[in-house]
Amino acid sequence: MKNLIFEEPEVDIPGYASSGLRYAWQSIRAPVIIPLLKLAVIICSIMSVMLFIERVGMALVILVVKVLRIKKYTKYKLDAMKQNIERNKRYPMVLIQIPMFNEKEVYKLSIGAVCGLSWPGDRLIVQVLDDSTNQVLRELVELECHKWIEKGVNVKYETRSNRNGYKAGALKEGLQKQYVEDCEFVAIFDADFQPDPDFLWKTIPYLLENPKLGLVQARWKFVNSEECMMTRLQEMSLDYHFSVEQEVGSSTYSFFGFNGTAGIWRIQAIKDAGGWKDRTTVEDMDLAVRASLKGWEFVFVGDVKVKNELPSTFKAYRYQQHRWSCGPANLLKKMTKEILFCKRVSLLKRLHLIYAFFFVRKIIAHWVTFFFYCIVIPACVVVPEVSLTKKVAIYIPATITILNAVSTPRSVHLLVLWILFENVMSLHRTKAAIIGLLEANRVNEWVVTEKLGNTMKQRNNARPSTSRSPWFRITERIHPLEIIVGMYMLHCAIYDLLFGRDHFYLYLLLQAGAFFTMGFGIVGTIVPN
């Protein structure tokens, strides 16, 4: 491993600094900096190999699945089950839950789409769980519900006097209503999700055919992916999640997580798992893990797509990524012992859940991206005694990147921008994962992802707000950590340009520019306050 990573140094430190600083640097360079950096390179190289093996393994599985056409959901006799339901007129009772919180831009879209589902009206209950703190908005949502009630849809408008448990608390209390006792299945849609009218016909037959099936997860379809460059880059990452991670987990009968929306559960599976819990910010993943440990099976149906909205403001996206990165790390800490000692599922599945799903994908993936590509590699430029081989610094990350990009062919030309964007976001995700593992002060921070509906129309029609000073709005967009890392990478780039013998400065300059761009908030849709 040592011979693979390190090469003998040939470059000495130039005397460009003042004598005092130079002396201090030289005094700690050999005994402290170089050994620590070599250790960091070894650790990051190991993490890179772990991530590489995981990604290549999933790529091979998905290749076999596509070539042999053995997707799990294609094994079900969907058409025969549909005909059987219609012939016998035995429609299961279905509950639809729409949790929302101050969703003024999208509440009409979601309620309208759910109320338009083609399922017998007497076998369907639409439950709008409104935790809004804006009283005027509550009245508007309630009015929208009454409009659909007048049209014959069984809509239940539910509110709470508090937000205990946030989304998990709302869903839990919703299932405790007396009218839910007759329901066999529950479908969940966040406020910006708009299912097609035939959604239930494309999902419920799976649950009816297989009594061991606890969850049917549909894919997301993004209605605003063309909104801005940030939404295009998000689409690349999420397409990989659905077309590879979810599909591999489903087709190999291993674990994959519930995405919190656009899925339909067997209510009995939720009860067996212990119901909704609010101990982390990923209540959906928490429920899925516990249900899986109880022996319930899941299926991902990639052919069923539900329209939804990507966060198009950088502020909203940062909050979402904090929740998505902090929650899994915190859940791993809370559930490792429970997973290891669960006797109901096989040891192989338990180890896969802890190692592959949680440790590699939810922690290692963030850490290696930030520490290796944004800290260690630039440091090796300034400390040439620690050199990297191309296998570690170039070939492995290039392979991982290409495997990700294949999922979104139309955006291959944005590959360089996607790499720069993901590297910057890795700082935020790494920090969130560490907070989750240490259960620090922001571990349970829950900020609902802002939805803008038709953002472009709103941006064109809105007038600038005078409620805040322009200076306050500018400082609100500045992110000091990103700027500091950008300055560090810029320094390393200049050093490499002046004294280096390779071309790392090309990457470092581009990456520094990306850190500055996002550090000053010059990314995403800018909506007037």
> How far apart are the C-alpha atoms of 202 and 4, rounded to whole Å?
52
Instruction: Give the active site residue among 130, 131, 192, 196.
Output: 131
The answer to whether 109 touches 192, Cβ cutoff 8 Å, is yes
Mean pLDDT split into 10-residue runs, the chain, 529 residues:
46 52 77 91 94 93 82 76 83 96 90 95 96 93 96 95 91 96 96 95 93 95 93 94 91 85 97 95 95 94 94 92 95 95 90 94 96 94 85 85 84 92 96 93 77 55 43 71 96 91 88 96 74
Q: Where do runs of H (alpha helix) occur along 104-257?
A: 107-115, 135-150, 166-175, 199-209, 229-240, 247-251
> How far apart are the C-alpha atoms of 149 and 127, rounded to whole Å?
12
Residue 2 has a pLDDT of: 44
In a domain, 508, yes or no: no
In a domain, 268, yes or no: yes
Element at 302 (helix H, strand E):
strand 297-308
Tokens of 151: 């049209």
> How far apart are the C-alpha atoms of 422 and 425, rounded to whole Å?
5
Active site residue 130: no
By the 10 Å C-beta count (0-12 exposed, 13-18 middle, 19+ buried), 376 is classed as buried
> How far apart are the C-alpha atoms of 480 and 521, rounded to whole Å?
11
pTM flag (> 0.75): yes
Tokens of 177: 């209503």
Tokens of 30: 């050999």
In a domain, 45, yes or no: no
> How far apart are the C-alpha atoms of 292 and 303, rounded to whole Å?
23
> How far apart are the C-alpha atoms of 228 and 443, rounded to whole Å?
30
Residue 28 has a pLDDT of: 84
In a domain, 436, yes or no: no
Tokens of 329: 């790390």
Q: Which of 325, 510, 358 is nearest to 427 (CA)?
A: 325
DSSP 466: S
**Domain range spanning residue 291?**
73-313
In a domain, 8, yes or no: no
In a domain, 237, yes or no: yes
Instruction: Give the active site residue among 192, 239, 284, 286.
Output: 284
Q: List the strands of the sheet with 124-130, edge to edge.
A: 155-159, 124-130, 94-100, 185-188, 263-266, 213-222, 297-308
> How far apart are the C-alpha atoms of 352 and 54, rounded to whole Å?
11
Residue 474 has a pLDDT of: 62
Q: Whose structure tokens read 């990350």?
A: 397
Helix axes 229-240, 415-438, angle to 10 degrees: 70
The total number of structural domains in the chain stands at 1
In a domain, 425, yes or no: no
Measured in residues, the chain has a length of 529
Residue 467 has a pLDDT of: 43
Residue 473 has a pLDDT of: 59
Active site residue 284: yes
Q: Are strands 263-266 and 185-188 parallel, antiparallel or unpaired?
A: antiparallel
Helix axes 314-340, 283-293, angle to 10 degrees: 20
Residue 486 has a pLDDT of: 97
In a domain, 458, yes or no: no
DSSP 129: E
Q: In CATH, what number is assigned to the domain containing residue 247?
A: 3.90.550.10
DSSP 180: G
The answer to whether 314 touches 205, Cβ cutoff 8 Å, is no
Encode burial over 310-349: b for 16+ CB neighbours within 10 A, e otherwise: bbbbbbbbbbbbbbbbbbbbbbbbbbeeebeebeebeeeb
Rg of the Cα trace of the chain?
Answer: 25
Q: Whose structure tokens read 């990147």?
A: 401
The answer to whether 323 touches 285, Cβ cutoff 8 Å, is no
Residue 22 has a pLDDT of: 73
Return the number of other C-beta atoms located less than 10 Å from residue 221's C-beta: 16
> How far apart are the C-alpha atoms of 8 and 10, rounded to whole Å?
7
